[in-house]
Structure 1
């Protein structure tokens, strides 16, 4: 990928470049799924965290869990989740907006003082489109989208996933260039937060050397 390919993946709707990675170990908790799906979700998170060279932990000393993933059927269900309005500001109007848009997913991030990711919240409304996806595929896509702060439109037109192999042997993997970007962004020599578009040049250089 060239810097021109990479920059839009981290350019916000207002034109600002912003790439951030997690600044602490990730502690996931998943709500609204059966044990088999829970295993798939946590396995996908573990795989992407390992790819990044980052860490997971049993608990976050400040938050307990810092990656919360909710599966549900209707946005209105979230209004009854205890204390969620303390974690997500302006929750009622947000839910009303997502309901009106017919959205089936939403991600919210919280940041440390230096701008690194401190917590993430993933909301998945299991409509017809999401319900037909295998749990492993849905989980891997979500794990990829919370390991970094991507642009809101980064995956609007193309999934972060690809298929490897053919027929019954086909498996779903991260697109190689997306996997490479995740590894590059977590390189210890790279900053945890970048707001200058020249960061895309540094990512591209690491992809080229990898």
Structure 2
């Protein structure tokens, strides 16, 4: 993967470049799934965090948990979650919009003063399509998409996961970008496309 291809992963639809990684250990919590799915979700997150060379923790001193994953059947259910509207701005109109669009997933990030990721919220509406996706595939896809702030068009043409000998795995080139972005000498947030050249040099 060359610098141009890497830049496309972080160049948003409006043409701006933005890459951000987590600035603190990740503390996940999962709502609305059974114990088996919970174990798969946390296992996938741990695997991607290890790949990045980042860390996890038992608790976040500010938020308690800073990665919240919700499984549900209808967007209206989120409006009833206690205190969620304090964490997610404009929750009610957001849910109304996503419901009207027929969306089955949505990710929301919050950032610290330096611009690094401080929290992420993952909303998964289990419709007929998501219900058919194996738990391990869904878990790995979500873990990959929250480990960095990818652009809104990053995986539109080519998803981050591929099939290999009957298994679903993370694309090696995407794995390389994740490792490079978490290199200690790289900045936690970058808004200039020259950042992609530095990532390419580390692949």
TM class, shorter-length:
over 0.9
Q: Post-superposition, which runs of at least 4 consecutive aligned residues in structure 1 deviate over 3 A?
A: none
Task: Give the 3-state SS of the residue equivalent to 1:64 in structure 2.
Answer: coil
Task: Give the 3-state SS of the residue equivalent to 1:43 in structure 2.
Answer: helix
Task: Give the 3-state SS of the residue equivalent to 1:177 in structure 2.
Answer: helix
d(CA) in 2 for partners of 1:41 and 1:34?
Answer: 11
Task: Give the 3-state SS of the residue equivalent to 1:58 in structure 2.
Answer: coil
Residue 2 (structure 1) aligns with? 2
d(CA) in 2 for partners of 1:157 and 1:41?
Answer: 25
Residue 190 (structure 1) aligns with? 186
d(CA) in 1 for partners of 2:198 and 2:40?
Answer: 33
Task: State the Cα distance separating 1:153 from its structure 2 match.
Answer: 1.2
TM-score relative to the length of structure 2: 0.98
1:181 counterpart = 2:177: yes
TM-score relative to the length of structure 1: 0.95
Residue 112 (structure 2) aligns with? 112
Q: Structure 1 unaligned runs (5+)?
A: none
CA deviations over 1:6-25 (Å, ceiling 9, x no partner):
11110122211000000000
d(CA) in 2 for partners of 1:188 and 1:10?
Answer: 19
d(CA) in 2 for partners of 1:206 and 1:128?
Answer: 40
1:202 counterpart = 2:198: yes
Superposed CA RMSD: 0.7
Q: Which moved more, 1:155-164 or 1:94-103?
A: 155-164
d(CA) in 2 for partners of 1:154 and 1:100?
Answer: 24
1:78 counterpart = 2:78: yes
CA deviations over 1:34-53 (Å, ceiling 9, x no partner):
00000000000000000000
CA deviations over 1:187-208 (Å, ceiling 9, x no partner):
011110000100011111111x
**Total equivalences in the alignment:** 203
Task: State the Cα distance separating 1:116 from its structure 2 match.
Answer: 0.4
d(CA) in 1 for partners of 2:180 and 2:129?
Answer: 32
Residue 94 (structure 1) aligns with? 94
Residue 25 (structure 1) aligns with? 25
Q: Structure 2 unaligned runs (5+)?
A: none
Residue 67 (structure 2) aligns with? 67
